Structure 1
Amino acid sequence: MKNLSRLLFAMLLVLGYSNVNAQDQNNPWQITIGVNAVDAYPNGDGGLFSETIFDEFGNVTDHWNILPSLSTISVSKYLSDGFSFGLTGSLNKIDKWGDKSSNPDVTNNVSDWSYYGVDGTIKYNFSEGHTFDPFVGLGGGYTWVDEIGAGTLNGTLGFNVWFSDNIGLTVQTAYKHAFEDYLDTHFQHTAGISIKFGGTDTDGDGIYDKDDACPDVAGLEAFNGCPDTDGDGIEDSKDDCPNEAGLAELNGCPDTDGDGIADNKDNCPTVAGLKALAGCPDADGDGVTDADDKCPSEAGPAANNGCPWPDKDGDGVLDKDDNCPDVKGTVANNGCPEVSEAVQKTLNEYAKTILFDTGKSTIKAQSAAVLADIIGILKEYPTAKFTVEGHTDSVGSEKLNQRLSDSRANSVKEYLVENGIDAFRLSALGYGESKPIDTNKTRSGRANNRRVEINLAK
Structure 2
Amino acid sequence: MKHLNSILVAALIFLTVGVANAQDENNPWAIEVGANAVDLFPIGLADGQADSSPLRGDLFEEYFNVDDHWNILPSVSKLSIGRYVGSGFTFAAVGTINRIETIGDVPVDDLTYYGVDGEIKYSFRDLIAGPGGWFDPSLGLGGGYTWVDDIGFGTANGLVSFKFWLAENLALDLQSTYKHAFEDNYGRTHFQHSAGIMFKFGGKDTDGDGIYDKDDECPETPGLPEFNGCPDTDGDGIEDRNDACPNTPGTAEYNGCPDTDGDGITDAQDGCPTEAGPKSNNGCPIVDTDGDGVNDPDDACPNEAGPKENKGCPWSDKDGDGVFDKDDACPEVPGTVANKGCPEVSVEIIKQLNDYSKTILFDLGKSTIRQESYAVLQNIADIMKEYPNANFVIEGHTDSQGSDATNQKLSDSRASSVRTYLTTIGMSGSRLSSIGYGEARPIATNATKAGRQQNRRVEISLRK
**TM-score w.r.t. structure 2 length?**
0.48
TM-score (norm 1): 0.49
